[in-house]
Amino acid sequence: MNLRELKDKFSVKELDEVKISTLNEEYTGIILPSANEKTLPIKLKSGYNIGVGTERITGIQKLGEAIKETPAEEKKIMKIDGLPSITIINTGGTIASRVDYRTGAVSPAIEQEKLITNIPELMEIANIETKMISEMFSEDMNFFHYKKIAEETEKTIKEKNTKGKIIGNGTDTKQ
């Protein structure tokens, strides 16, 4: 039975809290989104995520309805006279993402307003402008990308009269 059929059979959906039974074990957690039709991923109460093969599942008991996350209110970007200007050069990755603490999943905060919503204190210390260079995971970056970051940083230094540049690079850099 594939994942869609399994969810239909037991009337469960993503983000429902469930107890999953197999022949040998039981797992309690929240159903996570899956890209694989043969695995049901869940977030355990411990915070860890596991995948249970659909062929192993003998039953699913729904313990609670999916809880929708309330998105943070997006902050309006305001320029304040007297504050220094800073440019954030964004390359994507975890460092510029928002965490959904129910699932552990992250989603990118690419737009300037979303980035400021993550760190609203920035507006108290500087006027912020962002520049997106790439939208990629840091483990996928190579020296070509670092060269592009250096070139964009140099270009921004020449074009913008700012007090600082922040380069947001992901957390899994290999080089």
CATH code, domain carrying 121: 3.40.50.1170
Whether residues 60 and 116 share a domain: the answer is no
Token pair of 157, please? 């230094």
Whether residues 52 and 91 share a domain: the answer is no
Q: What is the number of domains present in the chain? A: 2
pLDDT at 87: 86
Whether residues 51 and 107 share a domain: the answer is no
What average pLDDT does the segment 110-126 reach?
75
Whether residues 43 and 94 share a domain: the answer is no
Question: Considering the chain, what is the average pLDDT of its residues?
Answer: 81
Token pair of 89, please? 């050069």
Are the C-beta atoms of residues 50 and 64 closer than 8 Å to each other? no
pLDDT at 170: 66
Whether residues 89 and 153 share a domain: the answer is yes
Sign of CA dihedral 75, 79, 81, 84: positive
Residue 144 predicted with pLDDT over 70: yes
Asked if residue 30 is part of any domain, the answer here is: yes
Q: Give the percent of the chain with pLDDT over 70.
A: 76
pLDDT at 62: 96
Asked if residue 22 is part of any domain, the answer here is: yes
If one compares 13 and 90, the residue with the highest pLDDT of the two is 13
Are the C-beta atoms of residues 159 and 112 closer than 8 Å to each other? no
Domain of 132? 85-168
Instruction: Tell if the pTM clears 0.85, that is, is over it.
Output: no
Where are the alpha helices (H) located in the chain, listed in sequence order? 3-10, 112-118, 122-125, 143-159
Whether residues 93 and 161 share a domain: the answer is yes
Q: Give the percent of the chain with pLDDT over 90.
A: 29
pLDDT at 69: 61
User: What residues contact residue 146 under an 8 Å CB cut-off, 6+ apart?
Assistant: 175
